[in-house]
Amino acid sequence: MTRTVGVALAVLLVACGGGGGTGVCFPGLLTPPGANCPSPVPPTCAEILGQAWAVNAVPELAVGESRLVSVSSFAGSRPLTVCADRVRTIAWEAADSSMVSLLPEAEALPDRVWVTGTSPGRTLVSARIGFADGSEKTAGPTEVRIVAPAGPPGARLIASARLDFAFAGPPCTAAWSSCARKTFDLPTAGRVDVVVDWVSPLNRVAFQLLAGDCPGFSPCGQGVVDGSPRGVKPNRGSNASLPAGPYTLSVSNSGPGPEVVRCEVWLTP
């Protein structure tokens, strides 16, 4: 049996050009060294239209939590970017609108939507796409489970703040009106969880927890928790072990609009 497998593998490598020739390429397999295989050809709109479209899976949501989801297909993550000239309408729907709210992205064809949990339970989210020829296609549905909110287990709140951003702008590299900092002291060593929430899912809010006391926009220490935008609201980040001492939470709103941000820092000794 081992000899048969070895012979088959050798034949496959030769067919793929493993010996330096052009050979035959097999999609989905690793290309051997020396093979001259063409790059994959992007799927056409006709090919994508012949496939089932879906809404990517939504992990469990807590009440008040939001997540960005999109229409997807077997051939690509966002099929509407390939078939945009044939699409006329996109309608996002929830089987039970009392459990989630849906806020499409601000695009001409919003193939992405923010799903926000509003009440515990389970529901289905789908997208109905209308085409120029009058036909329709349904993407999904995908199931969404919504649970009651809860703080980190065994943690206590050690710092919180409300930050008002009158404008959107660049990241916090200077005293922009779109940036703010909150300093606090960590009384003991332990795990730190940062939760940053805001009003509109359409705004991009990011944060970074920095070591040290950094008043204003003076240079600060090393970043210890990264809160780059992840398509999830609230934005969360954690560090499993931080020493006691001063820290600075730096928050930015790159918009597109003004925002009110609420921040919480939790400690688990």
Confidence tier at 113 by pLDDT (50, 70, 90): very high
Which amino acid is present at 114?
W
Indicate whether 24 pLDDT > 60: no
pTM for the predicted model, two decimal places? 0.69
Cβ–Cβ contacts within 10 Å for residue 104, how many?
Answer: 16
Please write the tens of the pLDDT for every residue from 158-202: 999 998 988 777 666 544 456 788 899 999 999 999 999 999 999
Indicate whether 93 pLDDT > 90: yes
Confidence tier at 99 by pLDDT (50, 70, 90): very high
At 265 the pLDDT is 94
CA distance 51 to 136: 13
Q: Where in the chain is the domain with CATH 2.60.120.380?
A: 156-268
Top-confidence range, 3-7, 48-52, 76-80, 265-269: 265-269
Architecture, CATH, for domain 45-147: Sandwich (2.60)
- Mean pLDDT value of segment 25-53: 69
At 14 the pLDDT is 41
Tokens 């989210």, located at residue: 125
Cis peptide bond N-terminal to 229, omega within 30 = no
Fold classification of 156-268 is Jelly Rolls (2.60.120)
Pairing of strands 66-73, 112-117: antiparallel
Please write the tens of the pLDDT for every residue from 41-71: 777 888 888 888 999 888 889 898 999 999 9
Pairing of strands 61-62, 136-147: parallel
DSSP H helical segments within the chain, as ranges? 2-15, 45-49
Indicate whether 136 pLDDT > 50: yes
